[in-house]
Amino acid sequence: MPLPVSTYRELAQRVLGRRPRLRPRNRFTARILVLFAVVGPGLIAANAGNDAGGIATYASVGARYGYDLIWMMVVITVSLIVVQEMAARMGAVTGKGLAELIREEYGVRWSLFATASVLVANLGICISEFVGIGAALNLAGIPFQVSVPIAAVVIWLLVVRGSYKTAERVFVLMSAAFLAYPIAAILAHPDWGAVGHATIAPKIHLTSAYIVLFIATAGTTITPFMQLYVQSAVVEKGIGPDELGAERVEVISGSIFANLIAMFIIIAAGATLFVHGDHTVSNAADAARALKPFAGRFAELLFAIGLLGASLLAAAVLPVTAAYVIAETFGFEKGVKHRPREAPVFVAVITTLIVIGTLVAITPGIPVIKLLVGVQVVNGALLPITLFFVWRLASSRKLMGEYANGRTFNVLAGATVIGTSALSILLLGITFAGL
């Protein structure tokens, strides 16, 4: 039965922390108001996954196989929605982050293991994001020795000195930069008929290169830090069970938006690099440069804008996620809303990751490729563990009560966890085998 308008008005007031300027006159308007009030965690987490490494992966998929892997993005979108919804639901129902729940339900050892893995992985990815920032602005002629430190200071001020609402609004605004990719794809003049056919008719290549890119695409679309961030952000935003319906819509729409952007990156690369026989993309900046001869300078510019926005967003979200995890594991005060003196450990973790990421990114001769391979291995080992905990905790009637996974959803979630975990384990095997 629909709730009365007064109830939606009360929910909107509680989430916004103030009386809305516009008093909703009907249920539809009230629901929209509540949805806008909870926008943030799901959208930010999903788009942060489209980071510099993710863009390079999607561009490589398009450059090497054209549109042949687009069908996979449809499947992986369902999986992303499932795991993100479970994490958001746990945050709303329990009021606790994932690391805190792991510590309470499974003990300190598992929590410490997950925390150590997240810290190492997030540090490595954070470095790659600052490298992405430097590469994006270098396309405009700005030396990375100048752009990276400035970006680091801006990000630090945003997440440490700013309020949670300010930081979240800026994060959401950064997500708008991803709209550059659909425009770049359109400028590349793809064969939309072929795109549509590839979306509904899977084409599989039985080669090691295809399998590696297939696994890498899944791995870059669903990463451990996304679940950790979305759950902690839901808690900090103060979203409770009453707002869960609106938060579900936010998580689902954010996941769909992020993966549509990924599809447009594949389409842009497929319509240009693949068609013209340029199948090699070593990083996201190379993809931006390579678009220019085939799609014009505006496509290159738009790709660079998207890379900058993606790198800035992820460079801000990753240190915050690591800080959430460490604070939750050891019981320290946490939250972007706190000043350094109120949450010294939380702020120290953010500061440390930003400083290290900046220093490594501006240091000549750093073996970035080897570093990213190592990070990929750590993420591959962490993903099955993180997803298992998300699945089991969200299924617990004792913990979640009436909000626990239903039977059908639980089967879908279990299949998602098993499938993504199998891919991650296969990636580890391929990495160690040196294939």
> What pLDDT tens digit does each residue of the chain (435 aa) get?
444 434 444 444 444 444 444 455 555 444 434 433 444 566 777 777 777 777 888 888 888 899 999 999 998 898 889 999 999 999 999 999 888 898 888 888 888 877 777 777 778 788 888 888 888 888 778 888 898 999 999 889 888 877 667 776 777 777 777 788 888 888 888 999 999 999 998 888 877 778 878 887 887 788 878 888 888 888 888 888 888 888 888 889 888 988 998 999 899 888 888 877 766 666 666 667 666 655 666 777 777 777 788 788 888 888 888 888 888 888 888 877 777 788 889 899 999 999 998 998 888 766 655 555 556 556 666 777 788 889 999 999 999 999 999 888 888 888 888 887 787 777 767 766 665
Structure tokens at 305: 């804008």
Q: Give the separation between CA 29 and CA 26, rounded to whole angstroms.
A: 6
pLDDT for res 121: 74
In this prediction the pTM is 0.80
The confidence score (pLDDT) of residue 86 equals 93
For helices 407-433 and 70-94, give the axis angle rounded to 10 degrees.
120
Q: Please, which residues have CB within 8 angstroms of residue 359's CB and are 6 or more apart in sequence?
A: none
Q: What is the pLDDT of residue 14?
A: 45
